[in-house]
Structure 1
Amino acid sequence: MHITILIISVVLMTVAGTPYARSVFVTGGPPEGPCAGKARTALFWGMIVFGILISVATLRGNPHVYAGPAPLVVNVPGGQW
């Protein structure tokens, strides 16, 4: 399951990062349009909201809970020497 999540994460980061990488490495292209800033802002905040939703959905059932049987509790009265 971890490998699947890793692969999906890398693919989504690549898809989301490609426009940013192209804008950094392309120097001789046409000037950006008047809506380029709005599109980048929408993409950025969309990724933030999507990440928060995915985090809440996957972490709702606490993944750090021990999945085994309940620990054995032994009450033993005693003393020291």
Structure 2
Amino acid sequence: MTTLTIVVRYFAAARAAAGAEEEKVQLPAGARVSDAVAELRQLHPEGLPRILDAVSYLLDGIAVRDLTRPLTDGAELDVLPPFAGG
């Protein structure tokens, strides 16, 4: 397999900036979370890059601290902006 496809799900301000609740993104085999983030910046250059500087990510429901984590075909990457509240 030379490519993999992930599902990116956007929440709150990230959803508004991307103009979608979710989308499928194709990446080269061996891609990492950082590669997905770079692709998202290119796909939505208007408002999303600023938001991506402050978000956190979940990969298949698990918090991502290391953006060099490898992606697998069919993985779900959630983009979670900081939430206000108490």
1 or 2 for the larger relative contact order (CA 8 Å, sep ≥6)?
Answer: 2
Structure 1 or 2: larger strand share? 2
TM-score, normalised relative to structure 1? 0.24
Rg: which structure is higher? 1
TM-score, normalised relative to structure 2? 0.24
